[in-house]
Structure 1
Amino acid sequence: MMVVRPVRDTDREALHSLAAKTGPGFTSLQDDESLISAKLEAAARAFQPHDKQEASYLFVMEDTETQKVIGICGIEAAVGLHDPWYTYHVGVQVHASRELNVYTRHETLTLNNNHTGHSELCTLFLDPDYRKDKNGHLLSKSRFLFMAEHPTRFYHSVIAEMRGFSENGVSPFWEGLGRNFFTMDFAQADRLSSKDKGFIAELMPKHTIYVHLLPEEAQKVIGQTHEQTTPARRLLESEGFRYNNYVDIFDAGPTLESRVQDIRAVRESRYVKIQVGNTSGRGELSLLSTLSLTDFRCCMTQADVLGHGIMQIDASTAEALQVKTGDTLRTAALFGRPVL
């Protein structure tokens, strides 16, 4: 049974193991002791009864049979309130002259801080050996039940930065633009940005950039997603997230956005009383989560709907969630219902 729970200090080595598998471009999880320590400390502060403006919630997925941590995901309560949050907005400028009968339309990139204060889904990574059995859906969507249960801890809109296209650790967008101002490799700039984003403001161009002046290889990847991140993008889009022409300033990966209340799993989630017993195995695959802040736990199972707001779950699910008959849980279907 897979269960998602808040990270603990005892997960330190597991985080190092996962970080070693992420590769260049995965800014939010680097195999660096100081960064991992900072994440653990921030998470310990976040899961406290009082609200935090810039709380960093970090969760891990654990295989309860082996007690192995095999995935990680996070939520930033609000970005950009302390350190500036930069993206490029992909826009359009038109140049026209009636006299010369000339009309040109050019895509542009403008550095901005428009997502300041938004909540952010981040640090989603699943061990490649466990990318099966809908584990990725559980890992990602568990955060939506947490946000639904604790809405006052988050901004009304949420973003998710998708990893941009790169090949063998080389980003065409970085090579075509960023390297001209930073004179360093993409991987090095990526590592630096995970520790301190101040140098971005110091070195990035402040003026509008015309996309057609960039190398063709850089132009092609604007708004494109890394092949390993494409499934995560499709998952978020199925939940209601959309690309609104904002991209990462390093690799030009797309930023997806949604209002929290418009997220399908948040909107459809509801409370149920649970009953522990044998199940038919024919129930709808559902997410189930506890209501606790500090002891939040989430798993997926084929529970039986008994009616009157009651669901029956088997003993292994109850053990994973650490609940008993009569407890209240939040639930949502793992997948949205088709529109008829």
Structure 2
Amino acid sequence: MLVIRPIAQKDFPTLKQFAIESGHGFTSLPVNDDLLQRKIDNSLAAFANRGTAKAEGLYFFVAEDGETGEVLGTCAIDAAVGLSDPFYNYLLGKQVHSSAKLGIYNVVETLTLTNDYTGVSELCTLFLRESARVGLNGRLLSKSRFLFLAEFSELFDHRILAEMRGVSDEQGRSPFWHWLQEHFFTMDFPTVDYLTGIGQKGFIADLMPKFPIYVNLLSKAARDVIGITHNNTRPALHLLEEEGFTWRGYVDIFDAGPSVECELSQIRSVRNSRQYTVKIGDVSQGNQHLISNTQFADFRALITEVELVGESDKDGLLTVTLTKEVAKLLKVTKGDRVRLVEI
């Protein structure tokens, strides 16, 4: 059984291996020891000092096998993007060129460089080792973050963002970036992807076109991938769409992958999750639920069968029965509170 927990220093070697395995286009996991260590340090600091309001902070989680201790995946939440470093997107829009006198009316699509997501909270760094992409593991890795958001909503923005990896081939060649490289840059896609991942974004402001780009001027290959998700990322997009995330025209400035968003309060697992009081015992008849404890620094989440009991505690919360094994993995005992939502 996989268990989600905050990342620890001991996870560095595995995190570096994930960075290697994730390949080109996975900007948030560059193969760079200093940056990976910085991400761990930032997460340790965020979990060590719980605030009372939204601020910069990286909450980094790993998926660990409850029996063997092997770490098989990662996911994270960036509490507020773009405050220390610029956060760029293209917005796909329209411009009208018309002349009533000549009877001409043309609508053309444009791409405009924006910082519209500054301060928004971002879901990021979702990676699951190929051998673990079975059963409900991917669902757990993606959706466990929503229980953390629900429990500690005061630490996050009312808008939640997720950038989807755009189209590129096995060599890291992006059709969209190829057009930009030809006209504005002299760097290939893997290079700019790596520079962005390690925080060196100054070249974007220096070299990116400052005015809207007319989409019809792009090559057909570049136009065809605008807003299209990489094949390996489509399952992750599907899970977010189940939760209510939608695309509103924002795309990545390098590979044109879509950025999807949802109001925090409208995310399905946030809206439908509830706190329950723990009871320890046998679970003979139960349904699969995503369940987490309500602890901050010791956050744990997993998917298991639980039995909802039709009785309330002194505070009016309903009771849920967990097995001893599940309670141990969640670090809870009788009388503690958990948050859960049906899968």
- Which category of TM-score, normalised to the shorter sequence, fits these structures? over 0.9
Consecutive aligned runs of 4 or more in structure 1 exceeding 3 Å deviation? none
Given the alignment of the two structures, is residue 176 of structure 1 paired with residue 185 of structure 2, yes or no?
Answer: no
CA RMSD of aligned residues (A): 1.1
State the alpha-carbon separation in 2 of the partners of residues 182 and 50 from structure 1.
42
Kindly tell me the number of residue pairs found equivalent between the two proteins: 333
Q: Which residue of 1 aligns with 2:58?
A: 56
Once the two structures are TM-superposed, the CA of residue 179 in structure 1 deviates from its matched residue by: 4.5
Gaps of 5+ in 1: 335-340
Residue from 118, 121, 129 that aligns with 2:120 = 118
Residues 181 and 188, structure 2, Cα contact 8 Å, conserved in 1: no
1:168-223, Cα deviation, whole Å (9 max, x unpaired): 22110000124432211101110001122222111101101000000000000000
Is the CA contact (8 Å cut-off) linking 1:109 and 1:211 kept in structure 2? yes
Q: Which residue matches 2:315?
A: none
Counterpart residue type for residue 338 of structure 2: L
Q: Deviations over 1:146-172 (max 9, x none)?
A: 011111110111100000011122110
Q: Which residue number in structure 1 is paired with residue 163 of structure 2?
A: 161
Of 316-325 and 162-171, deviating more is 316-325
Give the structure-2-normalised TM-score. 0.95
What does residue range 129-140 of structure 1 map to in structure 2 within 5 Å? 129-140=131-142
Unaligned runs of 5+ in 2: 312-317
- Is residue 83–residue 198 contact of structure 1 (8 Å, CA) maintained in 2? no
The alignment status of 1:315 with 2:324, answered yes or no, reads: yes
* Alignment map for 1:69-108 (pairs within 5 Å): 69-108=71-110
User: Structure 2 matches for 1:1-340, cutoff 5 A?
Assistant: 1-51=1-51, 53-168=55-170, 169-195=172-198, 196-280=200-284, 282-308=285-311, 309-334=318-343
Secondary structure of the residue that 1:35 maps to in structure 2? Answer: helix
Aligned equivalents of 1:184 and 1:83: distance in 2? Answer: 21
Matches of 2:182 and 2:197, distance apart in 1: 17
Structure-1-length-normalised TM-score: 0.96
Query: Partner of 2:232: helix, strand, or coil?
Result: coil
Does structure 2 retain, via aligned residues, the 8 Å contact 1:89–1:110?
yes
- Is residue 164–residue 254 contact of structure 1 (8 Å, CA) maintained in 2? yes
Name the CA distance, whole Å, in 2 between partners of 1:57 and 1:178. 34
Deviation per CA, 1:76-119: give whole Å up to 9, x if none: 10011111110000001111112222211111000000111100
CA contact (8 A) 1:49 1:293 kept: no
